Amino acid sequence: MLRFIVRRLLLLIPVLWGLSVALFLWVRALPGSPAQALLGERATPEKIRQIEIALGLDQPLYVQYWRFLEKALRFDFGTSIQSSRPVVEEMGRRFPATIELGVTALLIAVLIGIPVGYFAARRHGTWLDQLSVSASLVGITIPVFFLAYMLRYVFANQLGWLPNTGRQEARMLDVEHPTGFYVLDAIVTGNGPALSDALLHLVLPAVTLATIPLAIIARITRAAVLDVLNEDYVRTAEAKGLTARTITRRHVLRNAMLPVSTTIGLQFGLLMSGAILTETAFAFEGVGKFVAQAIPSRDYATLQGFILVIAALFVLINLLVDISYGLIDPRVRVR
Amino acid sequence: MHRRRGPVRALTALALGGALALAAACGGGGQSGGGNKAGGGSGTKDVFVWALSDQPKVLDSSYASDGETFRVTRQIYEGLVGTEAGGTKIVPALATQWDTKDSKTWEFTLKKGVKFHDGTDFNAKSVCDNFERWYNFTGAQQNPAVSTYWQTTMGGFKKNESEDLGPSLYKSCEAKADDKVVITLTNPSASFISVLALPSFAMVSMDAVKKYGDTVEMKGDAPNYTGKFSTENPVGTGAYKFVSWQRGDKLTLERFDGYHGEKAKIKTIVFRAIGDGPARRQALESGEIDGFDQVEPADVETMKAAGFQVQERAALNVGYVGFNQKKKPLDNPKIRQAIAHALNRDGLVKAKYPPGSEVAHQWMPPAIEGYNDAVTKYDYNPEKAKQLIKESGVTDLSLEFWYPTKVSRPYMPDPAANFQAFKSDLEAVGFKVTTKTYPWNPDYLEKVDQGQAGIFLLGWNADFADADNFIGTFFQQFNPRYGFRNKEIFDILAKAEAEPDPAKRVELYKEANKMISDFVPGVPYVHNKSYVGLAKDVQGFKTDPLSNEQFSIVSRG
Amino acid sequence: MSLQVAESAIQQAEHADEAGGGLWREAFRRLVRKPAAIIGAIFVAIFVIVAVFAPLIAPYSPTATDLSQIKGPGHIPGPSSTHWLGLDDLGRDVFSRMIYGARQSLVVGVVSMAFGMVGGIILGLLAGGLGGWVDATIMRFVDMMLAIPGLLFAIGIAAMLGQSLVSVMIAIGVVNIPVFARLLRGQMLAQREADYALAAKSLGVKRSRIILGHVFPNSLSPVIVQGTLTLATAIIEAAGLAFLGLSGADPAIPEWGRMLADTQKFLTSAPQLVFYPGIAIVLSALGFTLLGESLREALDPKNRR
């Protein structure tokens, strides 16, 4: 097991290195230069040239890449054009926001998706089943940002129950953010109003972000439970006269968990894609929004740093998922 | 067995946690919502929350060049001179009077008894120290993205580190007495006094600069302001002093009780960044914020109807369709005139711009001296346009029309809408239009400035209220953007800029406007009013054509 | 001798192919009995008919603006007897724009799906067919592509290629390449182990003939199902890219995703402008998804009872 983990971690190195080269070349293939991005409307050719020299953009590509790599290894990704702050500092600010949002969304997806899928399977063929299947289909086909704006329209504009955008009510003044996870911050500092404010601001974005994973998890759970219900040992258990509850607990859920947990593990990429749209639609200052803005701003430093870290996280999470298979199902031999 | 039950148990725990969180959210929501909306306590009356569209980049005004940063620094710092509230006239600020005989040697008399927020005195030495600081910028401080306005207005530095930098307009500064200072320039410049009103030329406490540092590093692709003065300890003479800046969260200012002028009415100013336009409006409507800039044209009337204050700001801008004469058939004057007649400017301004916006007929707004009522005007007349096309003899009527995405400017709140309307107009008179589009910054600006565009949407906001800042910037020399060389126009603009006599100068600019209008280097179409949205109980707010709005005179009823 | 046996092995393989053909026929029979499939097919049919006959259906030009209809900023005329779905903010007939929008959206869906499918088939065929280091290299490459969140990847490609509908379609297509490649490779690996393939191999039939003639065609059905589903996601992804500012250069050309993204600013003043394209996208995507899912179920041997 340990050897497996070490080997997978070592395998991470070439993937990340390849990615760093690809990323480096990609940002330089984007049209428009960061010098122009810095100067905006007041740019002149002389000033652009002056900045390009100062930034070393006139150097050969391999020199630039080497300088980038050397610093990246020390976890120094340079300064963001968008905010004039070190990229690492921006990561410290944006990742907590996105993780908070993503974890909440995943919680919603799992906590609703699994029961819905389970009950749909138990009541296979009934209207309840049909309803859940159709609802999850709509959940997958509705464009994320369209859903976001509809939710904003109904719950913020029309009903006024929930805040429209952002992470915090603008008039909340005496709030400290030691960690950047607003919910956690409020709990740590014992700030009740800040806690409810942070939670309220999470509701609509988290529901939006949860929709697609929820639909997928519900569908997978339903299919997995249906498969297990058709297995001989469940029929045997039924024949033996075990109560439905015992059968559920002892056999059905546990055996259906494997495909479901695989699916949950695979939601990371989907969540990240969703986070780009969700954060943009809710002006939620997280990783997704920052990276999406970095592309038109030619924020090279941000793009390289953030995408590398996202990809590394992705690979690490996949590794964790693989390891967890072994824990859930001893039949899966980790090679 | 135990281990294998793990996931199920974990899920149950998660479910419980989630339910608790939800309960907390619902329970707490009522309280906080009520508390905030009531908002009548003495505390809230003494707080003014302003929504910026973006975070400030730095708090050192000499390093700043964007409006949202200046919005903050204007409250903290003051310059030697300023502009009158709500107007463009130069008025005394830290200097009470000034005098020059040759536009080269400028003598200033300073206000007495002025103190910086850190308790140090403001005097003639402070002025010289500030100028010497700028003049002696080195390394990354000389980067055009850092000392942008110094370089656009004053040129280079004491020791230029790049061959692209020109000579400095600044020569020396001498403190004659505590309240008398003389600044000498290398060349006469009539606009020097207007330049001093720019927020970048604000006076800062040199004690604080020395104590906290003002270093800048070019690291990665952007300047990183490592000096603590520039981000955490800005010290000026303004009505508000800096308290704290939690990046990505809020920036707080507090009334400076030792202010030399009338003390600020509201104790605390809080700046928040809300990037999404509709969200700013909704934040105002829900009472979260007290004000924001750039109300969407479509929202002006609805917000007024709902009882919010929407204050108009005079237009010091121009939106135009530019032509690149290097691209055929735009080299043909008849074609350029035809386009001018083909575009339904009145229709667009009426349909898409807020009430009070004016259809433009020349390249600068009427509020600026040098505006000429007698220029040739090209009215909307598709028939005449077709006629002109016929006369031109041009058969290939294809045009490449450029517009930017990812941008909203006062003169162009929705570029795509302008583009579509104009494209439809051009097609109606027989042009074949192909479309090109790029994100505003950097792609669009870069390509348009390199002369890649055919016809394009662009515009300009005044830095300071002077004709030179408009037509001088556009047409005084060859500009690849417009792709023409017209010696008469270049000459008259150069002459106007150097003319020391104000009256003669105005006449020259009027003449220049007429020549430009006849030459049709493009079609100006709008001088747009912009709007500030304010909460119902805000009093005393005064909009300013250069966005130099002072929060110190604002109170809440 | 060996020749004779080889012949019979090939016959057997061809038999397997026939079974493949039979599989499709049988699947079709099951398909027409499924209400979900019928509904999906109806949605898709309407979508395609509208797209093809747009010029005949649309009463007005989808691009000609009429600013005289707009009284001021924020004024958007609602539905009337002359304009069934009302006008947009530049005075264009929304119904006509919706009709023409079907055309663009169909093109976006089909072209990006085809791009991804062809690319994926080439990679998958090489990996699954040649195996060895080719397989390993291609799969590492595919893994790297999958390590970047799909939408981010698409944004990256579209941003690099510049603002046009073609670059949007390429971007969506490229993002789907690894999905198709993996699917086809997996299926081919399984088919290579199938009895007929093993038999043919043991009898010395040329590997290329086994793979191209039998394994590959027998592996295609899940790829086709995935293609149908991708038509739906491509339209949705195009809308997402439009929302982030990456779409065709000319906003006057109607495309549902673009229309949905561009009208968000009217949500409070004229929500109808947002709902029409939103609902059109959901329904068309639903159509393809229902059809694809039903097809998958119908082709699934487990359901052959």
Residue C247 in domain: yes
Q: Which of B8, B55, B443 sits opposite A32 (nearest CB)?
A: B443
Contact C5, C185 (CB under 8 A): no
* Chain B residue with Cα closest to A198: B25
Q: How confident is the model at residue B545 (pLDDT cuts 50, 70, 90)?
A: confident
> Which chains would you list as touching A if contact means 3+ CB atom pairs under 8 Å?
B, C
Which residues on C lie below 8 Å from B425 (Cβ)?
65
Task: Count A/B contacts: CB-CB distance under 8 Å.
Answer: 223
Q: Which of B298, B347, B436 sits opposite C74 (nearest CB)?
A: B298
pLDDT: is A31 or B333 the higher one? B333
Domain count, chain C: 1
Contact B117, B256 (CB under 8 A): yes
Output DSSP code: residue B166.
Answer: -
Q: Which of A228-232, B398-402, B464-468 has the lowest mean pLDDT?
A: A228-232
Flag whether residue C132 sits within 8 Å of chain B, measured between CB atoms: no
Q: How confident is the model at residue B146 (pLDDT cuts 50, 70, 90)?
A: confident
> Which chains would you list as touching B if contact means 3+ CB atom pairs under 8 Å?
A, C
pLDDT of residue C20 exceeding 80: no
**How far off is chain A from B296, nearest CA to CA, in Å?**
17
| C58-100 residue pLDDT tens | 999 998 888 888 888 888 888 888 888 999 888 899 999 999 9
**pLDDT of the residue at B11:** 40
| Best residue of C139, C145, C152 to probe chain A, by most A CBs closer than 10 Å | C152
Which residues on C lie below 8 Å from A273 (Cβ)?
149-152
pLDDT of residue B315 exceeding 90: no
* Chain A residue with Cα closest to C239: A143
Q: How confident is the model at residue C10 (pLDDT cuts 50, 70, 90)?
A: low
Q: Which of A110-114, A169-173, B458-462, C62-66 has the lowest mean pLDDT?
A: A169-173
Flag whether residue C161 sits within 8 Å of chain B, measured between CB atoms: no
| B233-289 residue pLDDT tens | 999 999 999 999 988 788 999 999 999 999 999 999 999 988 777 888 888 988 889
User: What are residue B174's DSSP bridge partners?
Assistant: B182
Residues 415-474 of B with CB under 8 A from C: 416-417, 419-421, 423-425, 428, 435-439
Q: What is the mean pLDDT of chain A?
A: 83
**How far off is chain B from C245, nearest CA to CA, in Å?**
7
| B47-83 residue pLDDT tens | 999 999 888 889 999 998 888 889 999 999 999 999 8
User: What are residue B270's DSSP bridge partners?
Assistant: B49, B252
Long-range Cβ contact pairs of A252-255 (< 8 A, separation 24 or more): A252/A225, A252/A228, A253/A118, A253/A225, A253/B8, A254/B4, A254/B5, A254/B8, A255/A224, A255/A228, A255/A231
Letter string b/e over residues B196-233, b meaning 16 or more CB atoms within 10 A of that residue's CB: bbbbbbbbbbbbbbeebebebbbbbbbbbbbbebbbeb
CB-side neighbour CA atoms (13 Å) of B184: 7
- A143 and C240 within 8 Å at the Cβ level: the answer is yes
Flag whether residue B246 sits within 8 Å of chain A, measured between CB atoms: yes
pLDDT of residue B41 exceeding 50: no
- What's the rounded mean pLDDT across residues C192-217? 83
pLDDT of residue B15 exceeding 70: no
Q: Which of B28, B44, B51 sits opposite A193 (nearest CB)?
A: B28
- C160 and A280 within 8 Å at the Cβ level: the answer is no
| B181-197 residue pLDDT tens | 999 999 888 788 888 99
The ipTM (two decimal places) reads 0.84
Q: Which of A30, A270, A281 sits opposite C159 (nearest CB)?
A: A30
Q: By C-alpha distance, which of C276, C237, C286, C253 is closest to C111?
A: C237
* Chain C residue with Cα closest to B417: C90
**What CA–CA distance (Å, rounded) separates B71 from B199?**
9
Q: How confident is the model at residue C14 (pLDDT cuts 50, 70, 90)?
A: low
- A141 and C236 within 8 Å at the Cβ level: the answer is yes
CB-side neighbour CA atoms (13 Å) of A78: 25
pLDDT of residue C189 exceeding 90: no
Which residues on B lie below 8 Å from A39 (Cβ)?
144-145, 148
- What's the rounded mean pLDDT across residues A199-205? 94
Which residues on A lie below 8 Å from B22 (Cβ)?
199
Coarse DSSP helix, strand, coil percentages of chain C, rounded to the nearest 5 percent: 75, 0, 25
Greatest mean pLDDT among B347-361, B379-393, C137-151: B379-393
- What's the rounded mean pLDDT across residues A129-137? 88
* Chain C residue with Cα closest to B279: C265
> Percent of chain A having pLDDT more than 90?
20
Flag whether residue C252 sits within 8 Å of chain B, measured between CB atoms: yes
Residue C75 in domain: no
pLDDT: is C255 or B408 the higher one? C255
**pLDDT of the residue at B220:** 64
Flag whether residue B47 sits within 8 Å of chain A, measured between CB atoms: yes
Instruction: Give the H/E segment covering residue B189.
Output: none
- C282 and A22 within 8 Å at the Cβ level: the answer is no
- B25 and A81 within 8 Å at the Cβ level: the answer is no
* Chain C residue with Cα closest to A139: C282
**pLDDT of the residue at A331:** 54
The separation between CA B23 and the C-alpha centre of its own chain, rounded to angstroms, equals 46
**How far off is chain C from A58, nearest CA to CA, in Å?**
20
**pLDDT of the residue at C143:** 78
Classify the phi-psi angles of C132: left when phi > 0, otherwise alpha if psi is within -120 to 50, otherwise beta. left
Q: Name all domains of chain A by residue range, CATH numbers in brackets.
A: 87-332 (1.10.3720.10)
pLDDT: is C30 or B527 the higher one? B527
**What CA–CA distance (Å, rounded) separates B157 from B150?**
9
| Best residue of A30, A41, A98, A284 to probe chain B, by most B CBs closer than 10 Å | A41
The neighbour count for residue B16, using CB atoms within 10 Å, is: 11
pLDDT of residue A300 exceeding 50: yes
Structural domain boundaries of chain B?
A: 317-529
**pLDDT of the residue at C131:** 81
| Residue C261 lies in domain | 23-65+82-303
Verify cis geometry, omega within 30 degrees of 0, for the bond prior to B410.
Answer: no
| B116-142 residue pLDDT tens | 999 999 999 999 999 999 999 998 898
**How far off is chain B from C71, nearest CA to CA, in Å?**
6
Task: Count A/C contacts: CB-CB distance under 8 Å.
Answer: 107
**pLDDT of the residue at B24:** 40
Q: Which of C63, C75, C90 sits opposite B417 (nearest CB)?
A: C90
Letter string b/e over residues B466-487, b meaning 16 or more CB atoms within 10 A of that residue's CB: bbbbbbbbbbbeebebbbbebe
* Chain A residue with Cα closest to C231: A141
Contact C117, C223 (CB under 8 A): yes
CATH number at residue C168: 1.10.3720.10
| Best residue of B55, B217, B221 to probe chain A, by most A CBs closer than 10 Å | B221
Q: How confident is the model at residue B8 (pLDDT cuts 50, 70, 90)?
A: very low
Interface residues of chain C, partner chain A, Cβ below 8 Å? 140, 143-144, 146-152, 155-156, 159-160, 162, 232, 236, 239-240, 243-245, 257, 260-261, 264, 267-268, 271, 274, 278, 281-282, 285-286, 289-290, 293
- What's the rounded mean pLDDT across residues B163-175? 89
Q: Which of A32, A48, A193 sits opposite B32 (nearest CB)?
A: A193
Residue C42 in domain: yes
**What CA–CA distance (Å, rounded) separates A35 from B218?**
12
The β-bridge relationship of strands B432-439 and B398-405 is parallel
- A143 and C281 within 8 Å at the Cβ level: the answer is yes
Residues 159-188 of B with CB under 8 A from A: 162, 164-165
Q: Which of B11, B145, B276 sits opposite A51 (nearest CB)?
A: B145
CATH fold label, B317-529:
Dipeptide-binding Protein; domain 3 (3.10.105)
Which residues on C lie below 8 Å from B424 (Cβ)?
63-65, 90, 252
Output DSSP code: residue B25.
Answer: H
- A26 and C268 within 8 Å at the Cβ level: the answer is no
Residue C3 in domain: no
The separation between CA B321 and the C-alpha centre of its own chain, rounded to angstroms, equals 20
Q: Which of C146, C260, C286 sits opposite A137 (nearest CB)?
A: C286
